[in-house]
Amino acid sequence: MATFTTTLAKGERENLADVIYRIDPDETPIFSALKKETSNGIFTEWQVQNLSAAGTNYASEGADASFGTPTATVRLGNYHQISTKSVAVSGTLDVVDKAGRDKELAYQKVLKSLELRRDIENMIGDTDVARSASEPRKSASLSCWITNGSVGADAGAFATGDGTDTVTGGTNRALTLALIEDGMADAWQDGGNPKMLVASATNRSNFSSLSASGNLVSNDVNMTAAKATTYVSSTSVYLTDFGTLEIVPSRFLGNDRIFLIDPDFASLCTLNGRNFAEKEIAATGDAEKTQLITEWALKVQAPEAHAMILDLNGS
């Protein structure tokens, strides 16, 4: 007797899941940690005040007052950069019955918004770009503001620290706990208290290995019933001599750098009305067109509150 199977039969309905699975990462640790501000001009400025150096201070009884020159503020600024994502969806695609979403245009807007966040995260941390007023305007990236920490030997040199120039690369070297401690000490001496260590996946693993081999990881387990032994080889919080660091991995940071960030003194400044704004573009056919626009600038209120370690070789 011949068996009638699905191969021979006609009319089997498709079994397409009504869910869209997205594996591409959208976590943006630096973008998320920065405070959010608004501004009203394409060049946003702020002032930094330093105290005079501490010293001995003796005064004779009845002596006249003496007057020194006050320490002036330092005026810093950064340009707003325009970042965009655009999408065009045909009228037919927007109305046909689709699996996993209703309106295609609305779905694409969500995706483009996530992509914009990823772009900004990448430009803040993984590029070395000085501020520029030339079109297209550019916001100075994080490495252009920091002068604490360490760059590689030989030609390595920090940027000026005001966003106007970029860091000079030096000789690559391996990550060590001493480099992190020195960066924390530099920032602390200047008044900062970094709370985040942001690193690539490779440097995140390297750091955990350094911590474990240096006997900095201790796992004490209290239990009321017998359980299988668990070994923890990851360090998520690092207590340094100058404060506690939360270790945060970033998928958008290269293996050549680590940042020690004090979130109290850094923010993302967006132009009023241009913070992930939706702009409908005039139709030129049977399609809906939309552009997402954000005009932003990295604002590092106190550059000396942060530190970075550059020229790492990923080992």
Mean pLDDT score, 227-252: 78
Q: In angstroms, what is the C-alpha Rg of the chain?
A: 26
Q: In this predicted model, what pLDDT tens digit does every residue of 58-109 receive, in sequence order? A: 899 999 998 888 889 999 999 999 999 999 988 888 888 777 787 888 888 8
Tell me, what's the pLDDT at 215?
Answer: 46
SS3 167: coil
pLDDT over 50 (residue 231): no
Indicate the pLDDT class of residue 235, thresholds 50, 70 and 90.
low
Cα gap 313→137, rounded to integer Å:
32
Q: Among the listed ranges 42-51, 226-235, 254-263, which one has the minimum average pLDDT value? A: 226-235
Q: Given a cut of 70, is residue 163 above it in pLDDT?
A: yes
pLDDT grade, residue 242 (50/70/90)? very high
The pLDDT value given to residue 8: 60
Encode burial over 242-253: b for 16+ CB neighbours within 10 A, e otherwise.
Answer: bbebebbbbebb
Q: What is each CA distance from 180 to 31, 153, 158, 236, 247, in whole angstroms?
A: 22, 16, 16, 15, 12
To 5 degrees, how large is the angle CA 264–CA 167–CA 263?
Answer: 10
